Amino acid sequence: MNIKFYISFSFILTIAFGVFAGNPDRQGQAGAGELLLNPWGKSAGLHSMSTSSVTGIEAMRINVAGLSRINKFQIGVSSNKLYSGSDLNFVGLGLATRVGTSGALGVELSQLKFGDIPITTNLQPAGTGGTFSPSFFQLGIGYAFTYANKISVGLLFRAISESVIDVSAFGWAIDAGVQYVSGEKDNFKLGISLRNIGSPMQFGGEGLSVRRDNPDQAYGSYQINYDYRAASFELPSILNIGVSYDFYFKDKIYLRALGNFTSNAFSRDQVGVGAEFSFKDLVVLRSAYKLDLGQSIGGNNIYTGLSAGFTVNVPLKGNPIAFDYAYRATNPYKGSHNFAVLLSF
């Protein structure tokens, strides 16, 4: 089993570095940045660096391989107040259910809310009195399988929709991941995930059309509809490699130390470390620090520095309800706040 894992891991790693063998001149050229947002509290408290240890619904945002490590069924809702001082809010809904003895199927729906934006025109730059709100949706469907409780692999398909009044774009992306667990108490964990590998997106619609006078007046004066062709843009693909180790003090009391490397295809690479302390699965405290690597043309990634959070698990007839909160420092703005509720069966 170990030989199969190392062969699979090396193969995925080779493909991953081949995909991400770009140059820094591409920094800032990707679109659909909402694909990098994380609405869930547990993983957000670790700066989304729990590649090796994430499980359940949250795994569909970090490493889909962890989706299969649920009991029977899990449902969760979340709200992420982005960049305090703005009106941006990122909300999510997730469902996961076990399929067979070793597999799990999950569905995640998320939306980026912009609030009400005043409508302005060339003739009314101060506003028309009306408002609009862009509509950014994502729908992900994932499947993961665990072999002998040691190796988990997963695949997720995600549909992406962005629209603003009469202009819209649609695309799709695929995530893939693997996790490996070892040790007497599954202390050691290793994970790798590829995210947002998919189709370029391009905006189109009536909003990019304009009517102009016919340039050839020999056949009369009338107007022609001209369509502007928008440039296409790539998705923000990323590669995550993470490790973690659990130090047990007593039964169900442990400290988890983790490290993670993130290769961003269109921004600076990042490295970070974190820790998570769990007391009898009732209260979990976590914190992490993420750092950008190398030089950048456009500045730092927005999520750098410190993150922290906690989880309170409330037992309810054997089906715990988890209340999660996380804070992440941002540069600029005043940080992001994550709130989530997960119910497990």
Burial class (CB in 10 A: 0-12, 13-18, 19+), 94: buried
Q: Quick one: average pLDDT of 273-300?
A: 86
Tens digits of per-residue pLDDT, 226-277? 888 888 999 999 999 999 999 999 888 999 999 999 988 888 889 999 999 9
Provide the sign of the torsion angle of the four alpha carbons 98, 101, 102, 103, taken in this order: negative
- Please say whether the beta carbons of 276 and 256 come within 8 A: yes
* 3-state secondary structure (DSSP) of residue 252: coil
The CA-based angle 86-92-97, given to 5 degrees, is 165
Q: Which residues, including other chains, have CB under 8 Å from residue 84's CB and lie 6 or more apart?
A: 333, 334, 335, 336, 337
Q: In sequence order, what DSSP letters do the residues of 253-281 get, joined into one string?
A: EEEEEEEEEEEETTS--EEEEEEEEEETT
Is CATH 2.40.160.60 what the domain over 2-203+228-344 is classified as, yes or no? yes
pTM for the full predicted model: 0.87
What whole-number distance in Å separates Cα of residue 244 and Cα of residue 257?
5
Tens digits of per-residue pLDDT, 144-190? 999 888 899 999 999 999 999 889 999 999 999 999 999 888 999 99
What whole-number distance in Å separates Cα of residue 257 and Cα of residue 47?
14
